[in-house]
């Protein structure tokens, strides 16, 4: 007995495998108050330069770390630390900053604010990462102020253990 012919239908488009779309990597912000305000330092660490936006962080005091030439911040309800906000960082870049900062600092989430001069909306709170001195070293943060100008002057022709 003869079998009936089977008609072959073309494969439908929906059955074709689709290219997977990777979700965009989340971008992070980092409030910096010390040597990470220097574009050349940021470039050394992550391989690109970011423009910092003037910002401040209430509830933290910054000061020179004893026996060092870099600052640290510690909690202080009455204080304000000035610095910059770096935006558009990837998770892998944050890890590079973690390696740079080492065990003396811990990265935590804080609420910073752009300085009113640079912000259209004024003192708008922004969630960002920052590095605070580890609890075991907080007593090393002195009352002596630390500024980029002072650091640049000090560093002319000199390299620190971090440089």
**pLDDT tens-digit series, residues 72-88:** 999 999 999 999 999 99
pLDDT at 10 over 60: no
Number of Cβ atoms within 10 Å of the Cβ of 48: 11
Catalytic residue among 44, 51, 101, 103: 101
Range(s) of the domain holding residue 119: 25-155
Residue 22 has pLDDT above 50, yes or no: no
Is a pLDDT exceeding 80 seen at residue 8?
A: no
- Looking at the domain assignment, is residue 46 inside a domain? yes
Which residues, at least 6 apart from 107, have a Cβ–Cβ distance to it below 8 Å? 94, 97, 98, 101, 129, 130, 131
From the centroid of its chain, how far is CA 7?
A: 62
Say how many domains are in the chain.
1
- Nearest Cα to 27, choosing from 134, 131, 128? 128
Interacting residues of 90 by C-beta distance below 8 A, sequence separation 6+: 25, 27, 28
pLDDT digits (tens, 9 = 90+) for 138-160: 999 999 999 888 898 887 655 45
Asked if the structure places residue 104 within a domain, the reply is: yes
Active site residue 51: no
Does residue 13 lie within any of the structural domains? no
Averaged pLDDT, 86-113: 96
Cα distances (Å, whole numbers) of residue 52 to 29, 37, 87, 93 = 10, 7, 8, 15
Say if 1 falls within a structural domain. no
Residue 72 lies in a domain: yes
**84 vs 7, more confident:** 84
- Yes or no: say if 163 and 43 are a contact pair by the CB < 8 Å rule: no
Does residue 139 belong to any structural domain of this protein?
A: yes
Q: Is the pTM of this model over 0.85?
A: no
Instruction: Report the CATH number that the domain containing residue 102 is assigned in CATH.
Output: 3.10.490.10
Looking at the domain assignment, is residue 12 inside a domain? no
Percent of the chain past pLDDT 90, that is, above it, reads: 66
11 within a domain of the structure (yes/no):
no
pLDDT on residue 38: 94
């Amino acid at each position: 007995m003869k079998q009936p012919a089977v008609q072959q239908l073309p494969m439908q488009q929906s059955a074709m495998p689709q290219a997977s779309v990777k979700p965009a990597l989340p971008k992070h912000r980092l409030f910096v108050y010390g040597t990470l305000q220097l574009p050349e330092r940021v470039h050394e660490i992550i391989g690109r330069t970011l423009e910092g936006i003037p910002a401040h962080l209430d509830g933290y005091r910054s000061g020179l770390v004893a026996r060092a030439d870099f600052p640290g911040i510690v909690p202080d309800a009455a204080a304000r630390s000035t610095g910059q906000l770096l935006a558009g960082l990837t998770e892998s870049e944050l890890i590079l900053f973690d390696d740079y900062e080492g065990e003396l600092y811990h990265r935590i989430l804080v609420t910073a604010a752009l300085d009113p001069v640079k912000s259209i909306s004024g003192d708008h709170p922004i969630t960002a990462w920052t590095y605070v001195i580890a609890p075991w070293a907080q007593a090393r943060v002195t009352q002596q102020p630390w500024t980029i100008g002072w650091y640049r002057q000090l560093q002319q022709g000199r390299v620190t253990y971090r440089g």
